[in-house]
Structure 1
Amino acid sequence: MTAGELGARRRLAVVGWPIEHSLSPVLHGAAARELGRDWRYERRPVREGELAGFVDALDRAWLGLSVTAPLKREAARLAASLDERARLTGAANTLLLGTRPRGWNTDVGGIVRAFAGSGLEGAETGAIAGAGATAGSALVALAELGAARVAVALRSPAKGAALVALGERLGVEVVLQPLEAPLPAVDAAVSTLPAAAEVVPVFAHPPSRLLDADYARADGSRYRDAVPAGALIDGREMLLGQAVLQARIFTTGGVDAPLSDEGRVAAAMRSALAAATGLEES
């Protein structure tokens, strides 16, 4: 697919269930304005098990999809090719459509970018709270930051088996522990627990940085007593970081090359997100 063909396709959407809360239209609407793209970006409710049928019904006006819960594994199975992060996690949150849909996992990059934005460029140790869909992306991100050992606090040890296996592929020692047990001192921690989680993990010593990936609780209030001021990373930073990478894919057909004047595009996306949610602008 050529850059000209990419530019000619103008419809995009975020798909998932439920979908009304998604901020992706805010982010990608801002990106389209800055990039001068005539994109129509919307929310489309798609239930689990229905993604393939939804994609099959789309016409050539459609450029791509942002994919959220519970469809990321379906998206990975649907794609004819996957980037390395999507292959490792078995989850794709971005589909570039066409005769042979291609898939990416930009959640991993969003986590890495969120840590980098907080001043943390590397980590020797890590921790993850929860073992849901985002935990695999968090583990890959921590491995990319350099972590050799990652503690995972979870309610059901059976859910941790896939993370242990993924850790072996990454060369990372994954240590499982009960959700109620204190997490060890680490350089970087990621909470993947939903806002409705009844148990909030505690830390034996505050981590250097803690990302609360659930942006439904983006103020991070449940962790404010767990880390020093400045160490808590707002979940919307991950959301913004992964959306910038998605904008690369929708614009260029790949994730590696930065957008032209990407700083300006990212700033516009941040400003739109701030207006919608109150995220502090920087």
Structure 2
Amino acid sequence: MSTRHRAAVLGSPIAHSLSPVLHRAAYEALGLTDWTYDRFEVNETDLPGFMQGLDDSWAGLSLTMPLKRAVIPLLDAISDTAASVEAVNTVVITEDGRRTGDNTDIPGMIAALRERGVEKVEYAAVLGAGATASSALAALARICTGPVTAYVRTHTRADEMRGWGGRLGIEVHTADWAEAAHAFDAPLVVATTPAGATDALVPYVPERPGTLFDVLYDPWPTPLAAAWAEQGGAVVGGLDLLVHQAVFQFQQFTGETRSPLAAMREAGRAALA
């Protein structure tokens, strides 16, 4: 019988992470009484030592900033999904000690959209150009049949987004942030920006908006998400992404095929409330 029953989230800062709440709720809901999930404040300098100190009780790790890229040289292998965006948010540790990196943000985004009935779109828009935007492009590469327009603030970011598009096999156009209100013409808009960045766009929400995926979850709803919902548009939020990607992590760590999605979502909402 496997003695691997430990998992944790690593990052810096980490105190705000909802991952322990979500994973512990999943263990409780599915009766995995011998599993534990913790959080550890770990930066890039600390990471090699932490990884070296893991014993055979460990099954997996969740990674947040700034470790998603720093962990890659410390792994035995990474999935094609993680390699496509050069970011690992999940490390699975097998019984023989092999450590494989994956990225569950990308399938998490797809699953969150599918839950709202979004299976395919003809074109899309992305607001922002940070790390989450590259994951958004990777998700869109699987569901978007046409081009994606990214609204960015600098020429450097524009070059980066077009570069990601080339790597991911999706046509990416770029436009200046000053034109961001035009994003709302798309049937799917993915907002990957920090809190407050899209507040000035609220007056431009159209009368019949499509679907908005706003990756923020606290505070929620964002002014943009609230205005979008008021106009009858479908809204996918950051908590949706968080719970869907956590389900994939949970299943990889534990080997469970059952989904604890409802328990995770309820626990996440309670924690945010």
TM-score, normalised to structure 1, is 0.86
In the TM superposition, what is the alpha-carbon distance from 1:239 to its structure 2 partner?
Answer: 0.5
On the 8 A contact 2:218/2:272 being kept in 1, the answer is no
**Gap change, CA 1:154 and 1:217, over 3 Å in 2:** farther
Amino acid at match of 1:222: L
Identical counterparts, % of pairs: 38
- What corresponds to 2:159 in structure 1? 161
- Residues 148-187 of structure 1 deviation map (CA, whole Å, 9 limit, x = unaligned): 2111111122123332122123331111112221333212
Q: Which segment drifts farther, 170-179 or 191-200?
A: 191-200
On the 8 A contact 1:16/1:68 being kept in 2, the answer is yes
- Residues 182-224 of structure 1 deviation map (CA, whole Å, 9 limit, x = unaligned): 3332121111111154775576856511111022233122343
- What corresponds to 1:256 in structure 2? none
Aligned counterpart in structure 1 of residue 265 of structure 2, from 266, 270, 275: 270
1:54-73 matched pairs, under 5 angstroms: 54-73=50-69
On the 8 A contact 1:154/1:179 being kept in 2, the answer is yes
Unaligned runs of 5+ in 2: none
- Residues 105-151 of structure 1 deviation map (CA, whole Å, 9 limit, x = unaligned): 10011111111111211111111111111111100111111242111
Aligned counterpart in structure 1 of residue 232 of structure 2, from 209, 213, 229: 229
In the TM superposition, what is the alpha-carbon distance from 1:225 to its structure 2 partner?
Answer: 2.7
1:8-19 matched pairs, under 5 angstroms: 8-19=3-14
1:1-282 matched pairs, under 5 angstroms: 4-5=1-2, 8-37=3-32, 38-97=34-93, 99-181=97-179, 182-184=181-183, 185-195=185-195, 197=197, 200-201=200-201, 205=206, 207-226=209-228, 228-252=231-255, 259-262=256-259, 265-278=260-273
Amino acid at match of 1:275: A
Number of corresponding residues = 265
CA distance in 2, matches of 1:230, 1:251: 37
CA distance in 2, matches of 1:142, 1:231: 17
CA distance in 1, matches of 2:170, 2:205: 21
**Gap change, CA 1:107 and 1:208, over 3 Å in 2:** same
Amino acid at match of 1:238: L
On the 8 A contact 1:76/1:86 being kept in 2, the answer is no
CA distance in 2, matches of 1:97, 1:223: 38
Unaligned runs of 5+ in 1: 253-258
Aligned to 1:225, the other structure's residue is in SS state helix
In the TM superposition, what is the alpha-carbon distance from 1:94 to its structure 2 partner?
Answer: 0.4
CA distance in 2, matches of 1:140, 1:201: 25
**Gap change, CA 1:197 and 1:53, over 3 Å in 2:** farther
Cα root mean square deviation, aligned = 2.1
On the 8 A contact 1:14/1:65 being kept in 2, the answer is yes
Aligned to 2:178, the other structure's residue is in SS state coil
CA distance in 2, matches of 1:15, 1:46: 6
CA distance in 2, matches of 1:78, 1:197: 35
- Residues 48-98 of structure 1 deviation map (CA, whole Å, 9 limit, x = unaligned): 343222211222222211111121111333322122210100001101135
CA distance in 2, matches of 1:76, 1:121: 31
